[in-house]
Chain A
Amino acid sequence: MILEVQHIEKNFGKYRALDDVSLNIAEGSVFGLLGPNGAGKTTLIRLINKIYEPDKGTILLDGHPLSDSDVTQIGYLPEERGLYKKMRVGEQALYLAQLKGLSRKETTRRLKQWFERLEIMEWWNRPVESLSKGMQQKVQFVVTVLHEPRLMIFDEPFSGFDPVNTAMLKREIMTLRDGGATIVLSTHNMSSVEELCDSIALINTSKVVLHGNVRDIRQSYRSNRYEVVVAGDGDITMPEGYRLLADKDLGNERQLHIAVPEGGDSGELLGALLPQCRVVSFREVLPTMNDIFIKTVTHTKS
């Protein structure tokens, strides 16, 4: 575990922003920090960055309590991000990286590498205010990862990016992970969570309500439904206890949604179907992260 958050509590006046929050993040993984607006995600991220101090609990990095010098190991791209508008791009990146403890020479070398890789070298001497929002975000991304932190926290990194740049950013995040970095991704974009994250924590109303491996969570939310595409339009008799939930005409084929009862299994279903029709495809329907998110959040609300 690179990061262990243990029983954190944080209050702002009478408002409790985080209540007994615990979670673990494995080294070299992509961790999704999910939750509706105002749940406390940003507060938790600021605690990890030592911008705030927790009222209770501890945060361990590599097993030892977070200290001031650890900030060099963390890279953070806030949701509400900005740059000095009047400063030039290169100069600004240099400044921000130097604040993270890099030498000027080393920063320049790395910056040039990154800028060439992202094909933004010609921006070096332009003032930030002349760049579009998306362009500024690229610069911010580079600045966040330049000091090669072991833990990188991206808060809504995809907002404001076009699909091409979103794909580029996803690629870069995976490259960073493959290089050994641990990524914390705070996002509302559930499809990217399924695509990128190994594990997640869902925070709602200041508490962790769901925490674990993405595959395990989806498995635990499985509802034993199967999607079967069959050819032909004859009547299909369901075996005892199995329910046909939907029957959708796809032209030459039909898409069936079937609920398998408790104790039933997919083999039994397939065995019952095969004599009746030609099965084109057969797969289990797992709930999406989007479904799980909505279900969990509305459930905790009620």
Chain B
Amino acid sequence: MKKTLLVIRREYMTRVRKRSFWVMTILVPLMLAVLYAVPIYLAMKPLEKAVVLVADESGLFGGLDPSEMQLDESRFASTPEVEYRYAATYDYAVRQMNEDDNITAILYIQRRASDAIPTDACLYYKRDLPPSNVRLDVDKQLTHILRNRLLMAHDISGDEYNLITNTKINLRTQDLETGRDAFLEVKTGLGIILAILIYMVIFAFGSQVMRGVVEEKTNRIVEVIVCSVKPFQLMMGKVVGIVLVGLTQCALWMALTGIALTAIQASNPDMFRHATEKHNITEIATKGSEATNQMEASAELADIPRIVEGISAIDFGTIVPVFLFYFLFGYLLYGTLFAAAGALCDNDTDTQLFSLPLTVPLLATILLLPALTNAPSGTLSQVLSIVPFTAPMAMMLRVPFGVPLTQLYWSMGLLVVTCPLCTWLASRIYRRTILRYSRRKKR
């Protein structure tokens, strides 16, 4: 045991002291922080105000009579980002654009042949393409004004319109006995995240174990070590040492990301407050005062409380320990097998060849994800979540939906039984092959 601890210590210390470990440990939270801060920073940074000249020959967008002030509803409204100016004719607009470099684009709407509704408008630019926010704003206001015109023409009130367009039936899935909501989407999402997490952990740590074994074998130190340590101790020391490194890194990631995000917010609290306020202003300004837009916005927002509600309905008290269990045993199962595969290799290029069969069960589960999430309690899901090699992933997909305890116990029990069997098998392969080198290399 003391020797295994020494091996664990070495595996841990040499990895933690590597420069690459710290580079990754610092880089990942930094990247997350940047990903978080940059969009806010960009949103806060005042954009150059764009000027759009509206040459409306149709008259539907307030172009024919600039004095027609009461028809504010049918005119383009300037926003903090885009200023709209009216030009009487297209030719006049072109002349102005040639004289004034500040003009971003000309919005030209052709004369109507009859009373028909125009379906075509063109945004002319010179040299620089108008920014996408300008194009989006123009498009939005065009549709909005036109819609209001149509509503008026057909004598439909805003309320009636909202009633029609916002009709939505909220389909819920509920448990007949408890009456509780199923929150299918939230649970499916959570299941997929957990399963993929398990996959990544097993794969990343497993290949680390494998590479460690190959390293010892190719530089031949293993013969010196197996004189003092049993191959089994060496293998287990490596498997445990590496998972400890992984856990350390995850813990550091979480801590550093937290620190980085708080630091960003603390260093410039104004930036974040402004960013949100500004966002609100633009929303209101561009969407206008209509109830229609407010309803649209609230419809989008309505999902968020539902997700929150869904998350709060999830039984984390069960999921967290189950996750830890499958993470630990899944890693142990695969980690030792990866070690055995490493012992079979003669060099680094062999590792890919030998790791492929090991990852097949995991890859298969990934490929079957759609089928599994479609029916989390179906036969396929049940089988895969009981077979020890696929259970860590398949069970994590199912757990958020609730799994019958007997199935959970069967799955866990089989995994617990398979683990030492696999470890035994792996240590046998490891012991027998770690000192064997294929002859072809020597020739």
Give the complex CA separation of A49 and B226 in angstroms: 9
By a CB distance below 8 angstroms, the chain A residues around B220 are 78, 80-82
Whether a CB of chain B sits under 8 angstroms from the CB of A99 is yes
Which residues of B sit under 8 angstroms from A49, Cβ to Cβ? Answer: 227
The interface residues of chain B lying within 8 Å CB-to-CB of A71 are: 227-228
- A51 vs B28: C-alpha distance when bound (angstroms): 43
Contact code string A189-204 (vs B, CB < 8 Å = 1, else 0): 0000000000000000
Are the CB atoms of B10 and A76 closer together than 8 Å?
A: no
Among A86, A87, A96, A140, point to the contact of B228 (Cβ < 8 A). A96
A100 close to B (CB within 8 Å): yes
Residue interface mask B202-220, A partner, CB < 8 A = 1: 0000000000000110011
Q: Which residues of B have CB within 8 Å of A84?
A: 14, 215-216, 219, 221
- The CB with the most chain A CB atoms within 10 A, among B7, B227, B435, is that of B227
B residues 1-26 with Cβ under 8 Å of A?
3, 6-7, 10, 14, 18
Q: Report if B229 contacts A (CB, 8 A).
A: yes
Q: Once bound together, how far apart are the Cα atoms of A46 and B432, in whole Å?
A: 13
Task: Check A99–B226 contact: CB distance below 8 A.
Answer: no
CA distance A84 to B226 in the complex (A): 14
- Among A74, A86, A99, the residue within 8 A (CB) of B229 is A99
Residue contact A83 to B221, C-beta cutoff 8 Å: yes
Among candidates A74, A78, A87, A101, residue contacting B223 with C-beta atoms closer than 8 Å? A78
B223–A99 CB distance below 8 A: no
B225 on interface, CB distance cutoff 8 Å: yes
B228 & A82 in contact (Cβ 8 Å cutoff): no
* A282 close to chain B: CB less than 8 A: no
Q: Is A98 an interface residue (CB 8 A)?
A: yes
Query: Who on chain A is nearest to B226 by CB?
Result: A51
Q: Does B176 count as interface, using CB distance less than 8 angstroms? A: no
**Is the Cβ of A51 less than 8 Å from the Cβ of B227?**
yes
Residues on A with C-beta less than 8 A from B223 are 51, 76, 78, 80-81
Tell me if A221 is interfacial: C-beta within 8 Å of chain B.
no
B69 close to chain A: CB less than 8 A:
no
In whole Å, how far is B218's beta carbon from the nearest beta carbon of chain A? 8
| B224 interface contact, C-beta 8 A | yes
How would residues 90 to 120 of chain A score, 1 for a CB under 8 Å from any chain B CB and 0 otherwise?
Answer: 0000011011110000000000000000000
Q: Contacts of B14 on A, CB cut-off 8 Å?
A: 84, 86-87
Please, how many angstroms separate the alpha-carbon atoms of A141 and B382 in the complex?
Answer: 58
A68 to B228, CA, bound (A): 9
Bound Cα distance A74, B230 (Å): 15
Q: Which residues of B are found within 8 Å of A86, using beta-carbon distances?
A: 14, 18
A76 CA / B224 CA spacing, docked (Å): 7
**Bound-state Cα–Cα, A143 to B228, Å:** 12
Bin the interface of chain A by size: 20 to 34
Given contacts A78-B220, A83-B219, A84-B14, contact A99 B225 (CB under 8 A): yes
Contact residue among B10, B221, B226 (Cβ-Cβ distance under 8 Å from A82)? B221
List, in ascending order, chain A residues with CB within 8 A of B221's CB: 81-84
Among A72, A78, A101, the residue within 8 A (CB) of B224 is: A78
A96–B219 touching, CB < 8 Å: no
A85 CB–B CB distance under 8 Å: yes
Kindly provide the distance from the CB of A17 to the nearest chain B CB, expressed in whole angstroms: 12
Give bound CA distance, A72 to B6, whole Å: 16
Q: Are A85 and B219 in contact (CB under 8 A)?
A: yes
State the Cβ distance, A77 to closest chain B Cβ, in Å: 8
Task: Determine the chain A residues whose CB is within 8 A of the CB of B216 once the complex forms.
Answer: 84
Q: Across the interface, do A98 and B6 meet the contact criterion of CB distance under 8 Å?
A: yes
**In the complex, A96→B227 CA distance in Å?**
10
CB-CB nearest in chain A for B230:
A68
Interface string of A33-48 (1 = CB under 8 A from B): 0000000000000100
- Give the residue name and chain of the A residue nearest to B3 (CB): A99
User: Smallest CB–CB gap between A155 and chain B, Å?
Assistant: 9
Within 8 Å CB of A77, what residues of B? Answer: 224
Q: Which residues of B contact A68 (CB under 8 A)?
A: 230
CB closest chain-B residue, reference A75? B227
Distance in angstroms from A184 CB to nearest chain B CB is: 13
- For A101, the closest partner residue in chain B by CB is B228
- Which B-chain residue is minimally distant from A97 (CB atoms)? B228
Please state if B219 and A100 are interface contacts (CB–CB under 8 Å).
Answer: no
B227–A82 CB distance below 8 A: no
- Which chain A residues lie closer than 8 Å to B6 at the CB level? 95, 98-99
Q: Is the CB of B224 within 8 A of A81?
A: yes
Nearest chain A CB to B9's CB is how many angstroms away? Answer: 8
Known contacts A82-B219, A101-B228, A143-B224; 14 further A-B pairs (Cβ under 8 A): A50-B227, A51-B223, A71-B227, A71-B228, A78-B220, A82-B220, A82-B222, A83-B221, A84-B14, A84-B215, A84-B219, A95-B6, A95-B10, A99-B228
Closest 3 CB pairs of A and B: A82-B220, A82-B219, A99-B228
Q: Which residues on A are within 8 Å of B, measured CB to CB? A: 46, 49-51, 68, 71-72, 74, 76-78, 80-87, 95-96, 98-101, 140, 143
Jot down 29 A-B pairs with beta carbons below 8 A, ordered by A. Answer: A46-B435, A49-B227, A50-B227, A51-B226, A68-B230, A71-B227, A76-B223, A77-B224, A78-B223, A78-B224, A80-B223, A81-B224, A82-B220, A82-B222, A82-B224, A83-B219, A84-B215, A84-B216, A84-B219, A86-B14, A86-B18, A98-B6, A99-B6, A99-B7, A99-B225, A99-B229, A100-B228, A140-B224, A143-B224
